[in-house]
Every structure is written in C-alpha cells, then in structure tokens.
Amino acid sequence: MRRDHGGDVDAARARFGGEDWIDLSTGINRCPWPVPALPPAVWTALPTAAAGRALMQAAARAFATDAPGLALNGAQAAIQLLPRLDAPGLARVLAPTYNEHAACLRSAGWRVEEAARLEDLPGADLAVVVNPNNPDGRRHDPARLLDLSRSVGRLVVDESFADADPALSVAAHAGARLTVLRSFGKFWGLAGLRLGFAFADAGTIARIGAMAGPWPVSGPALEIGRLALADAAWAGATAARLAQEGPRLDALAQAAGWRLVGGTALFRTYAVPGAAQAQERLARHHIWSRIFPYSPHWLRLGLPGSPAEWARLAGALA
C-alpha cells in the first residue's frame, strides 16, 4: 500500500494542472547549498573508502559527535534497516510523527504501539522519538532522552530537522542503546542527493553497514556532503535566515485565520478550519502543501525560497 508523504507534486499537477508549482509540502530548504563543479572522478569511479572516511569526518564535526557513524542513502535507508537489527518485539513510537518509522517496523514483523508521551515509551524493546518532531515540532530535552535510553532496549532518535537547533541533539551520546539519525537533504536543501547518517556503537554501525552493502552512497553525494558539511559559514547564515522567516510565515497564516500548532526552522504546521479545502485553495495558485490522514485540520507548509515565492504565497492566503 502506498504510504502518505509530502513531495507528491506529480499528483498535484495531475489534479490541478500547470507546471510552475512551488512545493512547500516537504519542509526541504528551498535555498539550497550551492553545489560547485565536481571532479570528474566522482562520476566515473566507484566511491572509495577514503571518500567515505572524509565525509564522516566532516559529519562528525558538523554534528558534534565522536560516536561511530555511517553514511547512507538518506535517513530513510536507516529507518528501513534498523528494524532488521534485532529480533522483532514490542516497538513504541512517539506519535503522531513521520509515518515511515512505524510502517517499516511493522513490515519487519514488529508489534508497534503509538504513544502520546515520552512517559509511555519505557519497557519497549525499541522506541522511536523524532526530535524536533515532524509535523508538530515538539521538542524533547536531551537529558530526558538519555534517561529514556536506559529504560528501553534500543532508543532511536531521529534528528532529521535538528540542524538549526543543535542544542537538541544527542548524537554525541550515541551508543549501544541509543541510535541517532541525521538527514542531509532537508537543511542543506539537496534532498535529491539522498544522503543521511546513523550514529551508534561500533558493532551496530558495522551491522548496518553490512546490510547496506559496499556502496551505500554515490560518489557525488560523498563529495557534495563533505564540502557542504564543512561550510560552517553557510550553515550559520542559513540558520539565522530561517529564524527570521518562520515568524514571517506565521504572520501570513495568522492573518488568514490559521492557528500555529508548531513546527521547526524548516516548516510550520497550522490548524485550519478544513485542511483539504485549504490545500485546494493554495493549489489553485500552484502551491502544494501537506495534509494528514489522521487530522482534518492540520496543514503543513515549508518556507518559500525567494521573494517571488513569498509574494505568491501571500497572494494565495490573502
């Protein structure tokens, strides 16, 4: 069965027509890191172990961790592999959240319970917390997550939207009972590159690597990731810009009568009178948004990426 996701702009085009769509359904930075010309060898040669080590050194600095780690074909690859590390048992997922966690666990034979509070997770063989959470932006104190890791078999903390809020990260504490996932494509705006990371203890990382195979990341992704993760000036400027633009989006939504539910530096989720109707209203302006099958009122918007996109969204909401 097809799982519900953002980014399905093909469906929007099929339903509403047009080609000039602004896709705000994903929470991906629409002002991406500028990719330079790459050495020809990254396209023509198999990815090397040295290139992988160089990327992981840059990732360790960017994510402030010395824990063993592995680059993968997006954080999604880790989400699909992690349920295969242990014999299936009871998994608890703090919900609502990114639906691939529960779906991949169920596909691997786990019994999955959705929990509303951190206090409901202890006792699980595996627990999943997305911090900050997608789509409601809930944040959890790192100290509480470290405490939680001692009361479950394995705690998976998905930090895919934590780049602009590094104080939330527990990547420095990743180990045998704590696996931390990081995404590259969202904050750096290069989701098509398909690059993500897992951090844990050396044994866990070795097992994930064995399942992922000999070339889990392409040569261009290794090189672009290495360069981008080392660009601290770009990352700092981007975090500062996003901190200003989130409230700007909130002001537009409030003027339209929408109420902020929560969000991160890269997206906002609003309570609206009717989410499907609001999505259709934006779609008539060729702006695609995200709605959720479990809520008739929640609508998520990423941040526009240019003055023209901001003007078009303002017009659509006016």
Instruction: Give per-residue pLDDT as tens, 163-200.
Output: 999 999 999 999 999 999 999 999 999 999 999 999 99
> Mean pLDDT throughout 203-230?
98
Is a pLDDT exceeding 90 seen at residue 148? yes
Phi first, then psi, for residue 281 (nearest 5°) are -60, -45
Ordered structural domains, the chain, with CATH: 9-31+233-317 (3.90.1150.10), 40-230 (3.40.640.10)
Q: Retrieve residue 221's tokens.
A: 């992704």
Is a pLDDT exceeding 80 seen at residue 2? no
Task: Tell whether pTM > 0.85.
Answer: yes
